[in-house]
Amino acid sequence: GPKVLQIPSHQIIDMGQMVTLNCDPVSNHLYFYWYKQILGQQMEFLVNFYNGKVMEKSKLFKDQFSVERPDGSYFTLKIQPTALEDSAVYFCASSLEGQYEQYFGPGTRLTVL
Amino acid sequence: QQKVQQSPESLIVPEGGMASLNCTFSDRNSQYFWWYRQHSGEGPKALMSIFSNGDKKEGRFTAHLNKASLHVSLHIKDSQPSDSALYFCAVSINSNNRIFFGDGTQLVVKP
């Protein structure tokens, strides 16, 4: 089936540093999402993105977070600066316009020390 | 804000048995419902969707939706060890909008 790729699979950084998580969505999908999962528990929505714009964001999407997809390349989540509570697995997802199913990547495990 | 709650938190069933997972949601405007399955170390994958009241059967899996009682369930017949995973109930109000996930039910099917 359609695959979403995420790079890297694991990132370890020091608190206060910047990190960029990369997502390669399904090729013809138009909607992109980031979710956060802590300790294999609840998945929580961060943001969705369409046509170059943030459509909706949750309260977890702090001012230190930003997303972009320059020129149809990777869809990225940037955190600057990072905090200890940002340690989690971040999942990217994508969907077709009008389709309801979101396809998820394998996740990036972020560890902030 | 939408609240999605699942029960039980964990479930152990013997191979060949029936597993029943439950989910309640709070927003009556909810229209789209999925069950996602997540194996350890992987991203969640949609197992099945249900958008209308009643039952929907796909092989060994049957989803049931009752919007009036704000309830959706998943029943797995003839459970297999490969069904062992974390199951999420997922709810959305509009297409392409955010999905609200429940806390998950950890299913273990014992051979």
Distance of residue A62 Cα from the nearest chain B Cα, in angstroms:
17
pLDDT of residue A99: 64
By the CB < 8 Å criterion, does B48 face chain A? no
Show residues of chain B in contact with A50, CB under 8 Å.
96
Residue type, B34: W
On whether the CB atoms of residues B37 and B87 are closer than 8 A, the answer is: yes
Residues of B in contact with A58 (CB under 8 A): 98
User: Which residues, 6 or more positions from A9, have their beta carbon under 8 angstroms from its beta carbon?
Assistant: A106, A107, A108, A109
The token duo for B88 is 């999420």
Among candidates A31, A43, A98 on the partner chain, residue whose Cβ is nearest the Cβ of B44: A43
A24 close to B (CB below 8 A): no
Which positions 53-92 of B are in contact with A (Cβ < 8 Å)? 86, 88, 92
Q: Percentage of chain A surpassing pLDDT 70?
A: 97
Q: Is A21 on the interface with B (CB under 8 A)?
A: no
> What span, in angstroms and rounded, lies between the C-alpha atoms of B97 and B31?
11
User: What secondary structure letter does DSSP report for A10?
Assistant: E
**Assigned token pair, B60:** 């060994």
| Count of CB atoms situated within 10 Å of the CB of B44 | 28
Q: What is the mean pLDDT of each run of 10 residues along chain A (113 residues)?
A: 93 97 93 90 91 92 94 91 96 84 94 97
- One digit per residue, pLDDT tens: chain B, 111 residues? 899 999 999 999 999 999 999 999 999 999 999 999 999 889 999 999 999 999 999 999 999 999 999 999 999 999 999 999 999 999 998 877 889 999 999 999 999
